[in-house]
Amino acid sequence: MTNQRTHAQQFTSGQMGWITENRRPAPEHLRLMLRRLDSENEYTYAIWRGADPSSVIGFREPANESFMQAAGSADAMTVEVRLPGADGEGRLYTVGRPEPANGATTLIPISDKRAVRVFSNEIFTADEAAVIFYTYYLTDAVSQPHVLRELDLTQELSEER
């Protein structure tokens, strides 16, 4: 394990800090954090590359506009990622499996009052999401076979629960 800091994390409460491997390897840490989501007290978890790994508070400023976030519960969560588009502008995407969505949607809680609607192929367990998060942690990207559905930020993305 290493004490190297590259990525920061934020919880539902707004608490932020570096992800370190002082206690456990990064893949195990990410899985543990995502398993904490319960749709009652812990709704969200996010990571991003910190701007200044040499600083204890260097996580406060992101190194770029990219991040990954999850919301929901350990049994059913959505994963979103912000990545640069072909034009260099940041775009927000929902991560999904490659199989076609069956048209049915599910509401995933993101707070006490709000939820987002996702397709069946965009719902993950904490263990499945941990693999996606770890790939992002290593590469700042989402790997195959996962697919990305761009979200229209001009539209309201959440609704009342």
Q: pLDDT tens, 9-45?
A: 999 988 988 898 888 999 999 999 999 999 999 999 9
**Which run of H or E residues covers position 32?**
helix 26-35
Give the number of domains in the chain: 1
Label residue 60 by pLDDT band (50, 70, 90).
low
pLDDT, averaged across the chain: 90
**24 domain-assigned:** yes
**109 domain-assigned:** yes
pLDDT at 21: 83
pLDDT at 1: 46
Q: pLDDT tens, 69-99?
A: 999 999 999 999 999 888 888 999 999 999 8
**2 domain-assigned:** no
pTM, full prediction = 0.91
Using alpha carbons only, what angle is made at residue 43 by residues 76 and 72, rounded to the nearest 5 degrees? 15
Q: How many Å apart are CA 77 and CA 39, to the nearest integer? A: 9
Q: Which domain holds residue 103?
A: 7-152
Q: Mean pLDDT across the stretch 123-142?
A: 97
Q: What is the dihedral of CA 12, 55, 88, 67, to 10 degrees?
A: -20
**64 domain-assigned:** yes
